[in-house]
């Protein structure tokens, strides 16, 4: 069975979604860059091995990346999933795991890379927002897209209400993307990802809706 290492920084809700999806994989470890990450206790509750690597213990980012890579490699994972891991990783680290490093981002990339995605979407008046699962590349939040999910932006949305609906979709599509990887259904070519046997219904989403 293929194995997975999950990296977290906070509450670990996407990590928990991966755990509860009962994916065809062995979760080898959960690693956090913050000793106070709430997700560590959740991982322990489920019986998974946890480790903490605090970047403040390293004078250079490259030193932290090296130790993180050594820690990950000890588990020999087939895939590393960033689940709310907030630290930007160096190019050397990212290139080391090309095609094996996956992330979920709270926007419909390439729109709104980086932080503050929901407030930016509301400020610019978009009608459709959502989330993206992608492979990680040195260019932050611009890696090959695996799957996306869209939500309608409602007239009375706040940053909090929009974030809640987007997070619900993250919990749906991230386990699916990891499942596809573990089943060998993803083919990465340049900046495109093909998914074998994916369901494409050809539907069009209008927002606001159109009169029939």
User: Looking at the annotation, which residues are catalytic?
Assistant: 105
Instruction: For CA atoms 53, 40, 48, 100, give the dihedral sign.
Output: negative
18 backbone φψ class: left, alpha, beta (φ>0; ψ -120 to 50): alpha
- Asked if residues 87 and 33 have their Cβ atoms less than 8 Å apart, the reply is yes
CA–CA separation, 73 and 10 (whole Å): 23
Instruction: For CA atoms 34, 35, 37, 40, give the dihedral sign.
Output: positive
Q: If you ran DSSP here, which 8-state letter would residue 90 be given?
A: P
Residue 10: partners with Cβ closer than 8 Å, 6 or more residues away = 34, 37, 38, 39, 84, 86
CA–CA separation, 38 and 165 (whole Å): 21
């Amino acid at each position: 069975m293929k194995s997975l290492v999950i990296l977290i920084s906070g509450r670990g809700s996407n990590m928990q979604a991966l755990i509860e999806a009962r994916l065809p994989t062995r979760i080898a470890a959960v690693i956090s860059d913050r000793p106070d990450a709430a997700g560590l206790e959740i991982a322990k509750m489920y019986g998974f091995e946890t480790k903490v690597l605090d970047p403040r213990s390293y004078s250079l980012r490259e030193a932290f990346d090296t130790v993180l890579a050594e820690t990950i490699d000890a588990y020999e994972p087939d895939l590393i999933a960033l689940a709310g891991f907030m630290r930007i990783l160096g190019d050397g680290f990212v290139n080391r795991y090309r095609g094996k490093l996956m992330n979920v981002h709270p926007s419909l990339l390439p729109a709104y890379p980086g932080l503050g995605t929901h407030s930016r979407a509301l400020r610019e008046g978009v009608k459709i927002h959502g989330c993206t699962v992608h492979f990680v590349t040195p260019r932050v939040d611009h890696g090959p897209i695996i799957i996306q999910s869209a939500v309608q932006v409602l007239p009375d949305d706040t940053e909090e209400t929009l974030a809640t609906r987007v997070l619900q979709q993250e919990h749906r599509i991230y386990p699916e993307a990891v499942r596809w990887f573990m089943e060998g259904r993803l083919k990465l070519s340049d900046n495109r990802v093909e998914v074998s046997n994916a369901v494409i219904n050809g539907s069009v989403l209008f927002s606001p809706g159109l009169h029939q």
